[in-house]
Amino acid sequence: MKEYMNVSLPAEQRAALLLREMSTEEKLYQLTGDMLFNVDETYEKNRDPRNGSYRNPGHFMHYEREIPANPSEVARRINRDVELSINAQPHGIPPIENGEALHGAQWGMATCFPQPIAMASMFDPALVEEIGEAVGKECAAVGVRQVFAPVVNVVRDCRWGRTVETYGEDVQITSDMGAAYSKGLQSAGVIATPKHFADNYAAGGRDSNYSENSERTLREVFLPPFKACFDAGAKSTMAAYNAWEGVPCTCSPRLLTEILRDEWKFDGFVVSDYSGAQGVYSAHKLFASEEEAAAACINAGLDVILPSNKIGLLKKAYAEGLIPDGSLDKSVLRILTAKFRLGLFDRPFADAEAADKTVRNASHKNLALKAARECLILLKNNGMLPLQKEKISVLGVCGRIALCFPVGDNYSGPYGRKWTAPDAKTPLEYLRMYLDGIAEVRYFDEDADPAALRECDAVLYFSSILEGEGADRSDLRLPGIRRTKHRADDAGFIVDDTEREVTEDQEAKIRAVAAENPNLAVILLNGAPIEMSAWMDEAKAVVEAWYPGEQGAQAITELLFGDICPSGKLPITFPRSAGQLPLFYCHKPSGRGYGYVDNDGSPLYPFGYGLSYTSFSIENVRFTVEEEGVTVTCSVRNTGAYDGAQVLQLYVKGEHCDVVRPVKELKGYTRVEIPAGETADACIRLGTQAFCYYDRRMDYGPHNGDYTLALGTSSEDIAASFDVRVRDGHVVL
């Protein structure tokens, strides 16, 4: 037995022993990946089995098939790939089969959880960790051992089309949710790959455009969520497409070596975004040849070039002396260490027979339902909700998206197909099932006469927007008639292979519906804020459903009829109009003011906002200063008629600091479940980390300052506040 196959040795030592035996060609192959779209009779002929990583074939097996492949079939295909690679390698090195798992394992029709922006609305990291573990199990069940998730880019301009993939605008929430999801994935034996390191969009929400952010902004806002994920165990990261400080992130020594490895001691590996290394040459025009660009990426700290085989390019770069042996060995050692940590050398194959029992099992579907229930947000309610079954004989439903599974297009389902499952329901289907024998549910298509809505006791309008990768928005209104989203480039191949369109003027339709039947509730199915000024007054109720996942239709119906009490909170600010953007709650103070000629600059709905069917009172608030920080305790009383949950939020405002600090920042929160008429105790603890910042010298620590701690139920709804100081690194009264 080769010494590196000794399972009693640490992964790092086994990797170093193997590295000594490898040829240069073998090493170079470990830096390459491959992705083949056609999993057919030509597949094995076209697949070079010597690459170090592969986009798992399960993602492409369902295209143009009448019935999608089941989990065991996907597992057998991936096992065959792994076997071919091991047999083709001089040292039997297994590949890493990778893929997407933003809110579910995307190799096929796995459990589809709420989109990340919806997960953030739960303010429940423990539940997000459970979801991450379930997703990880469904990946590992078929042999997918690395996923390009979570997205932990903080959104400071919601025009960015990929807002739906994120956890919103807040550093604390993004850090907590990203860390929880990463921890869950890693616990299931899957490498989490937070992306896109470290700043992935520009002014106006323009995807992958040049970043003008200073290093202070990067360190205060965009880097902390990545650090939180790595501290939680994530062992990879994906470099961003764009450039920062004059250098593309994919080949930035400052980001990939100095900060990531030298400062943070990250011991995982870095992958490029798809064609990101090529983009250093073709898009950023930084080098005269593609091999120079590839070499610059490897030398800067990139380890794997994705998605397609670049072995010829790397061989040429090495032969020309552009990639020194030292850089090559560092990258290969990191990749081998990851493979030994995963156990790929010792247990390279998935249990295909067990895969069908793991994927979309009852436990995972129940978890998806729990998440869907927690993520829904009640934004407006003029007494219409909850609906009462006994008072409904005819319920009207409008909006084409009511006929679709509420999962969202981004990273839902495999290549070329929408996510589907025989037991899943669309909102219209579930409403009809729920009200079977009680009331008639009538669907009104785009051509229906609005006057027919007068016969309904209530009307639900399900809205839709066009967004996602390659679909940034300059207009936050609901898209109007004949608005189409086209796939912008090859990056869209992995997200969605179809055009998306809206065929009616939604704002006009909402007003027309309300004119005929004022008992109207609008259910928003979207992944980013919506401007509502044109129709807000006409709707009696507005529910922000986001894309709540495969069980979302049930959760929406339960909320509408009061079977569950809404408890979600906004993880992102809703502006009154696009002209207010960028708009986020934790801005730094203006030297004069905030208003516009036509409004005061305040949001339509603030960060942390969300209504309930019940009411709560916050009582007996106490702030205790301790050696290690501050503890806030209180009692929360449910004074209404519904069992419910309240999310308490603790904000910190720093003044008289060494540098200007944000007007407030969320530093702690807790979700409290309380039956009607009962009281529960709540506690939020803040360590000294909550009072740390970068001073004028860019030194990070608990520097002197005077602080106000504010406890409330949104960033604007504050119940109690308390002042403390930081002196010489300690929190004092």
Give the list of residues 6+ apart from residue 203 with CB closer than 8 angstroms, or none: 157, 209, 212, 582
Q: Is the peptide bond before 656 cis (omega within 30 degrees of 0)?
A: no
90: left (phi over 0), alpha (psi -120 to 50) or beta: alpha
**Integer Cα distance of 421 and 113 in angstroms:** 13
**What confidence score (pLDDT) does residue 490 get?**
44
Q: Does the pLDDT value for residue 486 go beyond 60?
A: no
Altogether, the residues listed in the chain come to a count of 733
Which pLDDT score, from 0 to 100, does residue 628 have? 82
**Which pLDDT band holds residue 603 (cuts at 50, 70, 90)?**
very high
Report, as an integer, the average pLDDT of 651-673.
98
Q: pLDDT tens for residues 713-729?
A: 999 999 999 999 999 99
Paired tokens of 198: 């470290």
Nearest to 648 by CA among 632, 626, 625, 664: 632
Q: Which fold has domain 616-732?
A: Immunoglobulin-like (2.60.40)
Q: What is the mean pLDDT of residues 617-626?
A: 96
Section 279-299 average pLDDT:
97
Q: Does 491 score more than 50 pLDDT? A: no
Q: For 408-416, what is the mean pLDDT?
A: 91
Share above pLDDT 70 across residues of the chain, in percent, rounded to a whole number: 97
Lookup: tokens for 211: 């970043």
SS3 state at 523: strand
Q: What pLDDT sits at residue 483?
A: 65
The predicted pLDDT at position 596 comes to 84
What's the average model confidence in pLDDT over 286-308?
A: 97
Q: What is the pLDDT of residue 409?
A: 87
- Of 216 and 409, more confident: 216
Helix (H, G, I), strand (E, B) or coil at 698: coil
Question: What was the pLDDT predicted at 487?
Answer: 52
Compute the distance between CA of residue 77 and CA of residue 120 in angstroms, rounded to an integer.
35
Closest CA to 553 of 405, 714, 386, 366: 405
The answer to whether the CB of 342 falls within 8 A of the CB of 236 is no
- As a whole number of angstroms, the distance between CA 292 and CA 314 comes to 9
Provide the phi-psi class of 238: left if phi over 0, else alpha when psi is between -120 and 50, else beta.
beta
Q: Is the pLDDT of residue 167 over 50?
A: yes
Say if 23-357 and 616-732 have the same CATH topology.
no
pLDDT in tens, 68-98: 999 999 999 999 999 999 999 999 999 999 9
- The CATH architecture annotation of domain 376-580 reads 3-Layer(aba) Sandwich (3.40)
Question: For all residues of the chain together, what is the average pLDDT?
Answer: 95
* Amino acid (1-letter code) at residue 662: P
Cα–Cα separations (whole angstroms), residue 11 to 32, 267, 331, 332, 370: 21, 12, 15, 13, 38
| Overall average pLDDT of the 635-645 stretch | 98
d(CA 482, CA 505) in angstroms, rounded, equals 8
pLDDT of amino acid 503: 82
Q: Which of 230-239, 491-500, 660-669 has the lowest mean pLDDT?
A: 491-500
Whether residue 532 has pLDDT greater than 60: yes
The Cα 64–Cα 50 span in angstroms is 28
CA distance 170 to 175: 8
Radius of gyration of the chain (CA): 26
Beta strands in 465-599 (DSSP E): 483-485, 500-502, 520-525, 541-544
Section 415-424 average pLDDT: 94
Cβ atoms of 460 and 432 closer than 8 Å: no
Residue 410: per-residue pLDDT: 87
pLDDT at 468 over 50: yes
Listed residue (217, 200, 126, 106) closest to 162, CA to CA: 200
What DSSP line would sit under 398-456, residue for residue?
Answer: E-GGGGS-TT-STT-SSTTS----TT---HHHHHHHHTTTT-EEEEE-TTS-GGGGGG-
Q: What is the pLDDT of residue 626?
A: 87
Which residues make Cβ contacts (< 8 Å) with residue 246, sequence separation at least 6? Answer: none
Q: Is the pLDDT of residue 585 over 80?
A: yes
Residue 230, classified by CB atoms within 10 Å of its CB into exposed (0-12), middle (13-18) or buried (19+), is buried
How would CATH label the architecture of 23-357? Alpha-Beta Barrel (3.20)
How high is the pLDDT of residue 499?
56
Of 317, 301, 154, 298, the residue nearest 226 (C-alpha) = 154
Top-confidence residue, 627 or 321: 321
Which are the contacts of 495, defined by CB distance < 8 A and separation ≥ 6?
409, 410, 411, 468, 469, 470
* Mean per-residue pLDDT, 251-264: 98
**Of 30-34, 58-62, 139-143, 466-470, minimum mean pLDDT range:** 466-470
CA distances from 16 to 95, 334, 548, 695 (A): 17, 9, 45, 41
Residue 317 backbone class (left: φ over 0; alpha: ψ -120 to 50; beta: rest): alpha
Whether pTM > 0.85 for this model: the answer is yes
Average pLDDT over residues 495-508: 73
pLDDT of residue 600: 85
> How would DSSP label each residue in 90-116?
TT-PPPEEEE--SSS-TTTT---PPPH
pLDDT at 502 over 90: no
- pLDDT of 119 above 60: yes
Q: Please state the φ and ψ torsions of residue 560, each to the nearest 5 degrees.
A: -60, -35
Percent of the chain with pLDDT over 90: 92
pLDDT of residue 497: 44
Domain ranges for the chain, please list them: 23-357, 376-580, 616-732
Read off the pLDDT of residues 326-375 as tens digits, 9 standing for 90 and up. Answer: 999 999 999 999 999 999 999 999 999 999 999 999 999 999 999 999 99
pLDDT at 601 (0 to 100): 86
